[in-house]
Structure formats: C-alpha cells, structure tokens
Amino acid sequence: MTRIIIFAHGLLNRPESLRSIITATDRIFCADGGAYHALALGLTPEYVIGDLDSLSPEVVHQLEIKGVKLCRYPMDKDQTDLELTLQHAIAEEPDEIVLAAALGGRLDQTLANILLLSRDEYHSTQLSLVDGGQWATLMRGPQTRIVQGQSGDILSLVPLTPLVKGVDLSGVVWPLADATLTFGSTFSISNALAERQATVTIREGKVLLVHFDKDIEEELRQ
C-alpha cells in the first residue's frame, strides 16, 4: 500500500506521535511552510508545493541542496497551498493520503482543510487528517471501516452531507443499526469503543470518522 503524508503549515500537536507512525516507505509532501515541520522531524520531503512565501531563503536553499522538488505558484492564486499539494498527491494515485498540521491558527483555513477531504474528485483515494493523535478519516457510502483501539476510546461521526443513510455502528457503547444522520446534528458525537475494535458502515452519504484514545481526551480537558 502506498501512502503520502502531507504537512500543512498549521499547528503540529504532539509531533512525536506523528513521527512514530511514519515509515520509510511513506512519501513526504509539504505545503509551503509545512516543510518546517518535516525538517524538524528529521524528514526530507519529496515535494514542497505552493507560493513558498512562508519559507526563508536559507530553508529554500537547504531544500534545494537536498534535492527536494520545489513547485512554485504565484501568491495570487485560486487555491490554497494545501489544496495544490493535495492535487499533486492525488495525481500520484496513492492508496492513502494523510494530512498533518492542517488544523489550528486561522478558523477559515481550518474549516476549509477539513472540508477539503470531502471533494468528489478525490473519491478514489482514502483521505485522513491527523492532529496530535486524533485521526479523522473521510467515509463515502457505501463503505465499511474497522477502527482499532482500546475500550474507552472516543469515536464520533460528523455528517458532511444533508443525510447519511444506513449507518451501522458496532463495538461501541451506543451502537447504531440502519440509522440516518443529518448534517449539523451532534447525535453521533462522543461515542466510545466498548472493546478493542469497532465497525462502522454507511450506505449513502459522507461522514468524517473521528477517533482518538481516552488519554488524549484527558489532556484536552486540562
């Protein structure tokens, strides 16, 4: 399975958690200033994409010496650096793309980055977003996903279409059977794993499946 990790230029919480899941076979792409995150983790990106206005001349030179491919775009453009980077990654036809450091900072960009996962033209690739050990994965019906974790882990489903139909959820404290979720509702927020594995199925629509362990929830409450 091929996987591309994309570093955006948002906040990178618990970087050691992200570094621990990156393998030698993962390809690293960076959206402009996301290169700072990659370099700080000892990673050399394959591509850095965007207008590069967030990078110092010294870092650009360092990347060039390392043989990193720099794809420059004008500052006046119709897409964010992250969307351009995602499009480059999609063109490589990987099995999975994971966005990191895509949250925090500007609210408009945070919301846009989350919703970016749901674009129809990206349907052929599994898209996820990771933030400090919290994982958000886009599901498009019909689809089933197995969530591995520990009893007590938090699992939420955030509807991204007006209706999400045929929702089955097992292995959790509050299971669902052939349920319908509506956009904007909090009905399916803050469920919890009842065992080490949960199964999520949706027949129609799109949801963002969010999963994180109970230890992270304790940290967030502090």
Is the confidence at residue 65, as pLDDT, over 80?
A: yes
In the chain, % of residues over pLDDT 70: 97
Q: What's the pLDDT score for residue 221?
A: 58
Task: Please give the average per-residue pLDDT across 15-23, as a whole number.
Answer: 91
139-221: same fold as 3-132?
yes
Quote the pTM value: 0.91
**CATH fold group of domain 3-132:** Rossmann fold (3.40.50)
Average pLDDT, the chain: 93
Assign a CATH topology to domain 139-221: Rossmann fold (3.40.50)
pLDDT single digits (tens) 116-135 = 999 988 888 999 999 888 99
Domain boundaries, the chain: 3-132, 139-221
DSSP assignment of the chain: --EEEEE-SSB--SHHHHHTT--TT-EEEEETTHHHHHHHTT---SEEEE--TTS-HHHHHHHHHTTPEEEE--SS-SS-HHHHHHHHHHHT--SEEEEES-BSS-HHHHHHHHHHTT-GGGTTSEEEEEETTEEEEEEESSEEEEEE--TT-EEEEEE-SSEEEEEEEESBSS-EEEEEEETT--TTSSEEBSSSEEEEEESBSEEEEEEE-HHHHHHHH-
pLDDT score of 195 more than 80: yes
* Confidence at residue 213, expressed as pLDDT on a 0 to 100 scale: 82
Q: When comparing pLDDT for 218 and 35, which is higher? A: 35
